[in-house]
Amino acid sequence: MRQEQRNLILLTIDAWRADFVDDFQGMALLPSLGPVAPWSLRCRNFYANAPWTTPALVSLLTGESPAKHGVFYQWSAPRQDSPAIAKSLAAQGYTVPSICYLNSINGYQNLGFAPCPIPETGESPGKAGTLLTALRQHRQQREPFFLWYHHTSLHFPYWPGEAYRRRLAIDDDAIPPHVRETICAEWNVPRSRFQFPLADRDIVRRLYAAEVLEFDDFLKPILDELLKDNLIDRTTFVLTADHADEHFEHGHVGHASTAEHATLYDEVLRTPLIVVDSRIAGPRSIDTRIQGMDLYSTLLGLAGAGPGAGTGAFDFSPAILDPHAPQPNADRLFYFHSARMGFRTPRENEGQIVEAISDGKTKVIAERYDTERLMRFDLASDPFERAPLSWRPGEESTLCRAAEAALAQTKESLSHA
């Protein structure tokens, strides 16, 4: 084993928003991060490449844009020759156990993991379960290990344990019945069937914050294990999300699969990214834009396993370890994609998609559902993307044609590079 190779732990959190990391109305949400703050870096502008789990995580695990990997639907699967973090690390002598239930799903085949036979979604709240067991099992071995685990406690339904609801002063009897019967009880709350008044936003966000508190109790024993006997000195821990959830920024709550209606606004794409590594002189943060597909090269670099060759990706590992390291072009284009209803898209809606590109200053969204719509947002003057300049494809607009051409050119370059 080469001395520079490090253990790597990737913990992805389903539907975690970037604005639910520090505190909620004065209450610290993730106090367990405090002891590792001296070795931590926070990326404040990290964007998923898709607003639902499978295509977003496949981009993260392969370094490929959705335009390249093509995992658009629940029946899609990565190519057999797809690059993947697990494949790269296993080829260099890493132990790569399959501990994530997603590895039994079609969309995660050919990524270097064996199918996971027992879904762990029934674990008791506040217990790290499968991941903690695997960490304890492999920490003493000579070979480096790679552990990937996907945690779902922030996903619908928003119904944290009673102790966490009390900490956020949630009166169960005061929760509106229509919220209790949908957002608090169901895995999916389709936009086409349910409407919520903006007044529900406070209780929804309070419930979500209580779920983050519950997640902190999941996280604490894992971080304690890293600090035990200085395991952190040879282990890199990365904490991020697949995508985020809307909290009424555009009239609904959830993401592509739970709302059964995909959007590509920032509230469902911008997520947390935290790196814990003993080589970091922290706490630090960086504001550079990073996209999900960048993590393929970045994680391999942090592990000391060599650079990855993800299409259009950038290796941020030097910048994470050294604040003076070079950064990518600030205005490089990010590409985003979703099927119309995310995971729940039926075959009869195959081909109905929404795509977007953004350079951090402007975003162009092309929605191709029953009718087509092209929108352009100035993110400086309209950061919440609420005032689009809209055209229909084919209209005689120089700006419209330029936007369509830029989107098509970006997609073409990412799909064939």
Q: Is 349 within 8 Å of 332 (Cβ atoms)?
A: no
Unique residue bearing structure tokens 């003993």? 278
- Give residue 405's pLDDT band: very low, low, confident or very high (50, 70, 90): confident
Beta partners for residue 372, in sequence order: 368
pLDDT tens profile 303-317 = 998 765 555 689 999
- Tell me the C-alpha distance between 348 and 360, whole Å: 34
Could you give the dihedral angle defined by the CA atoms of residues 94, 100, 105 and 109, in that order, rounded to the nearest 10 degrees? -10
Q: Which token pair is 2?
A: 């080469």
- Tell me the C-alpha distance between 144 and 93, whole Å: 7
**Helices marked H in 251-378 — which ranges?**
256-259, 266-269, 294-303, 317-321
Instruction: Report pTM.
Output: 0.93
Ramachandran angles phi, psi of 337, nearest 5°: -150, 145
Q: Is the pLDDT of residue 125 over 50?
A: no
- Tell me the C-alpha distance between 246 and 264, whole Å: 10
pLDDT tens profile 11-23 = 999 999 999 999 9
pLDDT tens profile 215-253 = 999 999 999 999 999 999 999 999 999 999 999 999 999
Least confident range of 128-132, 282-286, 330-334 = 128-132
CATH code for residues 7-321: 3.40.720.10
- Give residue 404's pLDDT band: very low, low, confident or very high (50, 70, 90): confident
Q: What angle do CA 158, 160, 164 make, to 5 degrees?
A: 140
Domain-by-domain residue ranges, the chain? 7-321, 334-416
